[in-house]
Amino acid sequence: MKIKNTTPTVLVFDSGIGGLSVYNEIYKQMPNLHYIYAFDNEMFPYGDKSSEFLIDRVNSIIEHISNNYLIDIAVIACNTASTICLPSLRSKFSFPIVGVVPAIKPACQITQNKCIGLLATKATIERAYTTNLIQEFATDCTVKLLGLSELAIIAENKLQGIGVDINQLQTLLAPWLSGPVIPDTIVLGCTHYPFIKEELEILFPNTTFIDSGNAIAARVYNLLNEQFDLDTINTQSNENIVISTNYNKHVEKLADNLVKYNLNKYQSINILCA
């Protein structure tokens, strides 16, 4: 039996603004849900944090938010957190938790030259979760790995109005630009990277870039549709909330910009470090 005329609340979480690339896809498919976009700007970037720290931190943030809001589904829109935190989150919270992990499988299905690249944070590249994904789905492909801490920061800066330096990007991606075989498919294994896809396409004009945003939106739809009669919800919420863990002038400016994503209320929370 589905619940009619009730608007489910979707929590989308990331270390920074990268998760907006996932939020965007979910929002495009289901504009009438109630959204909370939360980001841990106090501890950004996650790519250089230990697994133990991230498990504690992400659990504490989701707990804090779910104590204050009734959450129907949470999306961990961060590969770095998802590849380590999903088991602990799923054992702790009763609402469904959707994680974002690198789109290795779809990349292997579309590559022509059987050479794919995985671009992600250093932490994601090193995770056992990622190694297992590659072993399971990429047996007939060469997978080139590049773990970079700087790219998420470049993307974050771009959203705050600071231009991307193509020369810097070229230096960072040099290992793939000069190899004998250039990947024809690159997995954007960090949710920040879709925001610099335009610049990456300048460096790799013949490469297809893929991310997990669409697949996550479909998964959220399917999970919510089991419980809610989504077709009966026909008005947009004007109470969509942005939550950050640190308040500063950048966030103030960002919060103004987020109104265009229909995220119209801002709040900051205080999470104590373990």
Q: Residue 41 interacts with ligand DGL (CB under 6 A)?
A: no
CB of 48 to ligand DGL, least distance (A): 7
Nearer to ligand DGL, 85 or 233 (CB): 85
CB atoms within 10 A of CB 147: 18
Q: Residue 147 interacts with ligand DGL (CB under 6 A)?
A: no
Element (H, E) at 118: strand 115-120
Chain mean position to CA 20: 7
Number of residues that bind ligand DGL (CB under 6 A): 17
C-alpha distances in Å from residue 271, one per residue of 39, 56, 58, 61, 132: 12, 11, 10, 7, 32
Query: For the window 42-81, what string marks contact with ligand DGL as x by the rule CB under 6 A?
Result: --xxxx------------------------------xxx-
CB of 18 to ligand DGL, least distance (A): 3
Q: Residue 16 interacts with ligand DGL (CB under 6 A)?
A: yes
Active site residues: 78, 190
Map tokens 């920061």 to a residue: 153
**All residues at 6 or more sequence positions from 120 whose CB lies less than 8 Å from its CB, including other chains:** 79, 80, 102, 130, 145, 146, 147, 148, 187, 189, 190
Nearer to ligand DGL, 21 or 207 (CB): 21
* Cβ atoms 25, 218 nearer than 8 A: no
Q: Residue 102 interacts with ligand DGL (CB under 6 A)?
A: no
When binding is defined by CB under 6 A, the residue of 108, 133, 154, 190 that contacts ligand DGL is 190
Nearer to ligand DGL, 195 or 228 (CB): 195
Residue 238 phi/psi, 5-degree rounding, is -105, 25
Q: Residue 212 interacts with ligand DGL (CB under 6 A)?
A: no
Q: Residue 13 interacts with ligand DGL (CB under 6 A)?
A: no
Return the closest-CA partner of residue 190 out of 250, 130, 240. Answer: 130
For binding to ligand DGL (CB under 6 A), which residues are involved? 14-16, 18, 44-47, 78-80, 121, 124, 152, 190-192
